[in-house]
Amino acid sequence: MAALTLTGALMATAQTAYQPKFSGDPARSESEAGALGYMRTVLRAQRLYNKKYGHYATSLAQLVHTGSFTRRMVSTDRGDYAVSFRSRKDGFQLALTPKQMDATHRSFYADEDGVIHADEEKAANENSPTVK
């Protein structure tokens, strides 16, 4: 029993707590920080693209070289997250869904309004709580 307790204590100390990247960082893990950074980059690129062309990009590939969106970012495999991008008549939908959902791997959603939503239990949508 003592060995089991010691093993649990060692595992707990081996996993360090997430260190926020900036004041007010809403991420709960390194994976979430990466996912939120990706979302912010796509949202900024879409704003710039819309300003330049009068409409939103209809694919992630169209955003390459807009703002800081790179060719590598077109990939929908983002480590612990999968990206879903959908174009619609006057906007777009962007979702990042974790490959394994838990308290430190929430799902995220945003559209042309630029507000990021998160959900701990299911795929996030426009009705999910906003990320502060």
DSSP 4-63: HHHHHHHHHHHSPPP--SSTT---SSHHHHHHHHHHHHHHHHHHHHHHHHSS--SSSGGG
pLDDT of res. 16: 76
> How big is the chain by its Cα radius of gyration, in Å?
17
Report which of residues 51 and 17 the model is more confident about. Answer: 51
How is residue 49 written in tokens? Answer: 């693209």
**What residue spans define the domains of the chain?**
28-119
Q: What pLDDT is attached to residue 1?
A: 55
| pTM of this structure | 0.85
In terms of Cα–Cα distance, which of 120, 96, 115 is closest to 28? 120
